[in-house]
Amino acid sequence: MPRGQAGGSTLTPQEPIKLKEKPFIQAPRPRGSGITVPIAQIAPCPRNLRGADLWPDPEERDRMVASLKRKGLIQALVVVDVEEYVAHYPEDEEAFSPEHRYVVVAGHCRLDAAPDAGLTELRVDVQNEHASDVDSIFLDENLNRQALTCFQEGEGYRRLRENKGWSDKEIAEHYGFGKSKSRVTKRIAILPLVEVAEARESILSSERGSLTPDKAYTIISVVKDPQLVMPTYEMMTARNLDAREAGRLVQLSTIEAEKTPTPIPHPATSEESAPPASESKDEQTHTPDGEQQSEQQSGPGDDADGGEATGSARTDSVDKGADDETGADDDTGADTGTAQKQESRLTDMERQQISADARREDVCKLLVQEYREPLVDGHAVRTAATTLAMVGSQTVRLAHKWLSEIDSSPAQGYSSPNSYRDHVLAGQDGALMLQFAYAVALADDELRAQDRRRKPDFRVIRHWRYLIEAAKYEPSSWEQQYLR
């Protein structure tokens, strides 16, 4: 075979070489040929998770407008017919005007920027098969492209849970991207905080020290009432308490505020109590003697302990409470940071449970204070040491709290519960270790009794009976139904 000459091959191609060209990046193309319609016929989707918050950064909108001016609309909007959409979501029918023919499924930002770019018509691709799945599409579009707020993300998860019947685990597995089942559960749980302006703004704030979604979930799981989340968070921050302790104190203060009546002077006892001249006639009644009396009624706590009026405002009627709830979203409304100013949403059973929790803790603290171990046995000390080493931090925290409130207790010198545990475990004082282990045993059972996620089991009932026998604890009517 002859050698080729230097600088090239002896084989010369008879035809020009054709290379197979492949674009480096191929822009996605909408399915179907697409049609051009006036912008006035295209309506944004009412179920869009972003709502009016399409542009986190105003500069992004300016760039979109500039691009549409230069190149026009490159990718058609994906839409569905209004009739098809309303067939699946009849509750949104009022969101459309008679001139609307299409609902956007993908392309809200392009639709919003098009008028400023001078466009009067847009190309759309009608895909009615997606009309029943817009919630899932919105999550896919936004989670992959731009970060949703925790509330927008939670609303998307909630819709899938309710409309498609998916479990939180199924939602997390479907979307992936590091989303866990607990993330889905937490985002849905904090959705009621959207209606509480102070809590909402704190969660959405990026400033250090603001309320995080995870902490908000922990608090609302304890207090249940969205209006009590911010007061609980403020108490946690001010007094260095955990969510359970702070939530219980806030709930107790709310219950006490409901019990405390607002004194209403009798019209016959003071001239100052007479209704003003501008008072409506509808708010007055006439006695047979012609005297005017106010129809204002006292609260449900008037027959209770009596009590002086506190400085906090209290709502005495359901109608007024409804007005307070609707005003929670007003930036100029009442301060949501004071628990006593909010209409309580606790049921009678929940009030009993909260009060019983507080009384049991007082009894447990008394038992820990009076604990005396007559014989410090080596086996008992070893068992106590093992118990202290394995118990959870929340249990240690509650036990340390009880011990630190006892005069002359060495626990007062340790602000950290875990540091005090390490001190006790490293020491040689067997009596001190047994007392701490006893406090931990009570705290562990008490925390289990306060857990509302499950019904009282045999351990909780045994704990209640022990408190009754050891400290003459009087159970509430709610506890008595399990003790029978």
pLDDT higher at 326 or 216: 216
The per-residue pLDDT for range 388-404, each reduced to its tens digit, is 999 998 899 999 999 99
Half-sphere exposure of 43 (CA within 13 A, CB side): 21
On the question of pLDDT at 176 being above 60, the answer is no
Q: Is 426 helix (H, G, I), strand (E, B) or coil?
A: helix
Of residues 260 and 379, more confidence is placed in 379
pTM (two decimals): 0.49
The reply to whether 60 falls in a domain is: yes
In a domain, 276, yes or no: no
Q: What is the pLDDT of residue 396?
A: 92
Answer with the one of 113, 137, 161 that is the final residue of a domain. Answer: 137
Domain containing residue 83: CATH number: 3.90.1530.30
Highest mean pLDDT among 4-13, 179-188, 348-357, 440-449: 440-449
The answer as to whether 29 is a domain residue is no
- Is the pLDDT at 150 greater than 80? The verdict is yes
Contacts of 322-330 spanning 24+ positions with Cβ under 8 A: 325/195, 328/195, 328/196, 328/197, 328/227, 329/195, 329/196, 329/197, 330/197
Given 76, 109, 137, which residue is the final one in a domain?
137
Q: What is the pLDDT averaged over residues 9-15?
A: 60
Domain boundary among 78, 105, 137: 137
Instruction: Evaluate if residue 103 carries a pLDDT over 80.
Output: yes
46-60, 95-109, 183-197, 237-251: least confidently modelled range: 46-60
Residue 46 lies in a domain: yes
Domain annotation covers residue 2:
no
Question: Could you tell me which of 68, 53, 81 has the C-alpha nearest to residue 120?
Answer: 68
The closest alpha carbon to 217, from 132, 296, 136, 154, belongs to 154
**What is the pLDDT confidence band of residue 406, given thresholds at 50, 70 and 90?**
confident
Answer yes or no: is 153 within a domain. no
Per-residue model confidence (pLDDT) at position 291: 40
Q: Would 393 be classed as within a structural domain?
A: yes
**Could you give the percent of the chain with pLDDT greater than 90?**
17
Structural domain for 442, as ranges: 353-483
Which range (120-124, 364-368, 375-379) has the least confidence? 375-379
CA-CA distances (angstroms) from residue 42 to 38, 49, 68, 105?
7, 18, 17, 11
pLDDT in the model for residue 261: 58
pLDDT tens digits for range 446-484:
999 988 778 899 999 999 999 999 999 999 988 999 998
Q: Distance of CA 220 to CAs 171, 188, 189, 359, Å? A: 22, 12, 8, 22
State pLDDT tens for residues 299-345. 333 333 333 333 333 333 333 333 333 333 333 333 434 333 434 46
Number of domains in the chain: 2
436 domain residue, yes or no: yes
- Who has greater pLDDT, 4 or 234? 234
When pLDDT is cut at 50, 70 and 90, the band that residue 191 belongs to is: very high
Q: From CA 285, how far away is CA 288, in angstroms rounded?
A: 10
**Average model confidence (pLDDT) across the chain:** 75
Stretch (H or E) spanning 400: helix 393-404
